[in-house]
Amino acid sequence: MAFFLSYFPSVIPANSGGGNLGLFSKGISDYNGSATGDERLVAIEFDTHCNDAWDHSSNHIGIDLNSIVSVASKDTDFPGRNLSSGLLMKARVTYHNDTMLLSVDLQIADDASYHISKNVDLRDVLPETVAVGFSAATGSFAELHQLLSWSFNSSGPEVSKKPPPPRTEVASAAAAPDRAHEGNEAHKQLHLPPQTLALVLVSGLLVLVLLLLIACNFRKVSRWCQQKHAREKQGCGPRRYEYCELVKATNNFDQQRKLGTGGSGEVYRGDDMGRLLAVKKLISIGNTDAEAQLLRRKEFQTEVNIISRLRHRNLVRLFGWCDSRKGLLLVYELIPGGSLDKYLYNTDSERSFSWNDRYRVIIGLGKALGYLHGEHSGTTYVVHGDIKPSNIMLDEGLNTKLGDFGLARLIDQGTEPPRTQTVMGTPGYIEPEFEKTGKRCKESDVYSFGIVLLEMVTGHGPLGLRLSQPLRTWVWEMYAQNRVLDAASATLRSERNDQQTERVLIVGLWCTQAARSERPTIAQAMGVLEHTHAQLPVLRPCHGQVTVAVGSLVESPGQSPIIASPILGELALVPSQIYTDTAPVSTTSRQLYSNAITTAEASTISNRSSVGSYTTCSASMTATTSLGVHQAPIGGNMQAN
């Protein structure tokens, strides 16, 4: 909502809804341009939504001079006393021609006040004749503004003298709605020079007693209402930090306080009056082009916007942020235990990382994802986009805290996920589908979750540097040979719970199915992990290009060898023929896995609507599968449907 002075008679520009406040056309806001000619105006905005392109917060007042980008602004960040609180508010806007100072004062519930001002010569900004009034607009969400009453007073010099810039004053008075008309009559007395007589005649209908009440009932802030008690208990939500505050908290970003370095920036330990902080300083963008700087700032605003909405015991809490010329910084709570990867791979750690510890971390991570994927809101969900051990923090009790939302996206339920122009993430944790389509969704996080599960049980990284093959492929082979428990780390075998271990490994494979349609939701995965009576899924281990072969087959006279394939079922081989599969094969008498003597390539079929069609293999045999009999000539294709 905004109070404005604009060209008379005022009109509503085309495409001026949403963040344009019904005042600025979309063309002006898109390019952060300035209005000219009859579109010139001055506006005082009472803004309750953050538009990333030009706003810095979702609760602020601002002065706009011919542009949607405010020349002066102030966050209404007093706890429980902001534009969204639904309390009585009074505003006063004044302009003095002698000082050329435009001032805005806002009072909320008699105990919180905000002030902004800007020096400006209105003769250079506005046309000679102006209209005065209020404007409001909404975008995807609904909100209610109630303006009980208002008044406008203007006084000028004597007629014989050359008039200086007019003094404009919009004042408020605390009055109940049933007294608004009485107040209006008292404020209708205007003393205007002839030059503004036309304005007075037209705007006389707008002259009322000023009492501004904005009662904003937001559908979009239902989440805020649910979190109100938590915020009051914590004192306040995330706040803006000054750069000098963070310099002091980190001892000027002392290298001895550096906690780590990631792809997006460095993290320092800080102390803010006894409260421990983790200050993430994003990599400098000063030497990059304007487009790259805009992209980085947009990613920064996205991360702040998303994390500010979230409250969960298994998520790292955001204390605030800093957006200054010297850098972009995020301020998190400091998690003293460090990240999960240090527990998995740091052999010098004094504390053992038992199976019970790992299982508790797994359950905590699943609960964090369940919250992001819909529990926090019925209309939107959050895709984290970069789930990996280094982004999973552990407190002193080894409780899970998922952090680093730099690649996260907030998506409306039922809508198509947006396309990412650049594939970003960590190799080994990125699902194959995202690399092809550039679209992240819930299933993308589920895939990364599955990789982390396999990593925590086996003790091997996703790229399988110590296995000579990817971790996922190696565990699939164990599963196909009905010995998936052998994939567990040797350090856990003396203390592990075999039932839990098997469930974690199978759920990990379930979550990393190549096709998104084959993966569970996080709720389904957690149902199997947390409930011992839940039935384990039966998986089809087709996982990409794998080279295997059949060797040392013993044939009975007059009988072809029978091979049980984990994908194609039982295959009756034509004598002297060789077949390949996407997983190790076994005879009816013993397990076989020999060196490769021929290769075949298995690929997931692109038609996701046909659930039964899941792989295409090159073969030269007659095959009997559990789904039917297919014959193909030598060198032909065989498809399991």
φ and ψ of 81, to 5 deg: -130, 65
Q: Which residue has the higher pLDDT, 479 or 13?
A: 479
Residue 641: the pLDDT is: 36
* 355-370 helix and 522-530 helix, angle to the nearest 10 degrees: 150
DSSP structural state of residue 326 = T
From the candidate CATH numbers 1.10.510.10, 1.10.760.10, 3.40.920.10, 3.40.50.720, the one assigned to the domain spanning 340-530: 1.10.510.10
Q: Please report, for residues 223, 571, 612, the alpha-carbon distance to residue 562 in angstroms, rounded to integers and kept in the order given.
A: 60, 6, 24
Is residue 350 within 8 Å of residue 383, measured between CB atoms?
A: no
Q: What angle, rounded to 10 degrees, do the helices at 442-458 and 355-370 form?
A: 180
Active site residue 386: yes
Q: Assign 174 a pLDDT band (cuts: 50, 70, 90).
A: very low
**186 — alpha (psi -120 to 50), left (phi > 0) or beta?**
alpha
CA distance 80 to 190: 38
| pLDDT above 80 (res 411) | no
The Cα–Cα gap between 36 and 34 comes to 6
Highest mean pLDDT of the ranges 381-385, 401-405, 494-498, 524-528: 524-528
The ranges assigned to domains in the chain are 2-206, 238-333, 340-530, 544-641
Q: Show the tokens assigned to 294.
A: 């805009």
Encode pLDDT of 589-617 as tens digits.
233 332 222 223 333 333 333 333 333 33
Higher pLDDT, 331 or 549: 331
SS3 for 480-543 is: HCCCHHHHCCHHHCCCCCHHHHHHHHHHHHHHCCCCHHHCCCHHHHHHHHHCCCCCCCCCCCCC
Calpha distance 75→58 (Å, rounded): 8
In the predicted structure, residue 384 carries a pLDDT above the cut 60: yes
What is the reported pLDDT for 493?
A: 78
Q: Is 281 annotated as a binding residue?
A: yes
Residue 383 has pLDDT above 70, yes or no: yes
Q: What is the pLDDT of residues 48-62, one digit of tens each?
A: 878 766 777 778 899
Of the two residues 244 and 167, the one the predictor is more confident about is 244
- List, in order, residues 6 or more apart from 530 with CB less than 8 Å away: 363
Is domain 2-206 given the CATH code 3.40.190.10 in the classification? Answer: no
Q: What string of DSSP letters covers 391-411?
A: GEEE-TT--EEE---TT-EEE
| Per-residue model confidence (pLDDT) at position 277 | 92
Token couple for 16 = 């001026």
Over residues 255-269, the mean pLDDT reads: 85
The mean pLDDT of 339-363, rounded to a whole number, is 85
pLDDT of residue 198: 57
Q: Using the predicted structure, report yes or no on whether residue 183 has a pLDDT greater than 60.
A: no
pLDDT at 371: 92
CB 84 within 8 A of CB 224: yes
Q: Which two tokens stand for residue 184?
A: 């209006």
* Amino acid (one-letter) located at 583: A
Per-residue pLDDT at 553 exceeds 50:
no
Query: Using an 8 Å Cβ cutoff, are 283 and 265 in contact?
Result: yes
**CA pair distance 76, 106, nearest whole angstrom:** 9
Q: What is the DSSP letter of 277?
A: E
pLDDT of residue 486: 92
Phi, psi at 618, each rounded to 5°: -85, 130
Residue 358 token pair: 């790992």
Bond into 165 cis (ω within 30): no
Instruction: Tell me what percent of the residues of the chain surpass a pLDDT of 90.
Output: 24
For residues 196 and 401, the model is more confident at 401
Top-confidence residue, 399 or 192:
399
Residue 113 pLDDT: 87
Does the pLDDT at position 347 exceed 50?
Answer: yes
Average pLDDT estimate for 385-408: 88
Longest CA pairwise span in the chain (Å): 125
Q: What is the pLDDT of residue 247?
A: 92
In whole angstroms, give the CA distance from residue 12 to residue 639.
Answer: 62
What's the CA gap between 239 and 308, in Å, rounded?
9
One of 47, 55, 386, 445 is an active-site residue; which one?
386
* CB contact at 8 A, 146 and 177: no
Per-residue model confidence (pLDDT) at position 368? 94
Judge whether 2-206 and 340-530 match in fold. Answer: no
**Which CATH class for the 238-333 domain?**
alpha beta
Q: Please give the pLDDT value at position 369.
A: 94
526 contacts: CB under 8 Å, gap ≥ 6: 363, 366, 367, 370
Instruction: Assess whether pLDDT exceeds 50 at residue 354.
Output: yes
Work out the burial of residue 29: count CB atoms within 10 Å of its CB; fewer than 13 is exposed, 13-18 middle, 19 or more buried: buried
Least-confidence region, from 184-188, 194-198, 328-332 = 184-188
Max mean pLDDT among 225-234, 291-300, 482-491, 614-623 falls in 482-491
HSE-CB of 497 using CA atoms within 13 angstroms: 13
Q: What is the pLDDT of residues 58-85, one digit of tens each?
A: 788 999 888 888 889 888 877 778 787 7
Give pLDDT tens digits for 445-477.
999 999 999 999 999 999 877 778 899 999 999
The predicted-structure confidence for 288-322, as pLDDT tens digits, reads as follows 567 777 777 777 877 788 788 788 999 998 888 89
Banded model confidence at residue 418, pLDDT cuts 50, 70, 90:
low
Which of 102-116, 252-266, 407-421, 437-451 has the weakest average pLDDT? 407-421
What's the chain's average pLDDT?
A: 71
| H or E element at residue 332 | strand 327-333
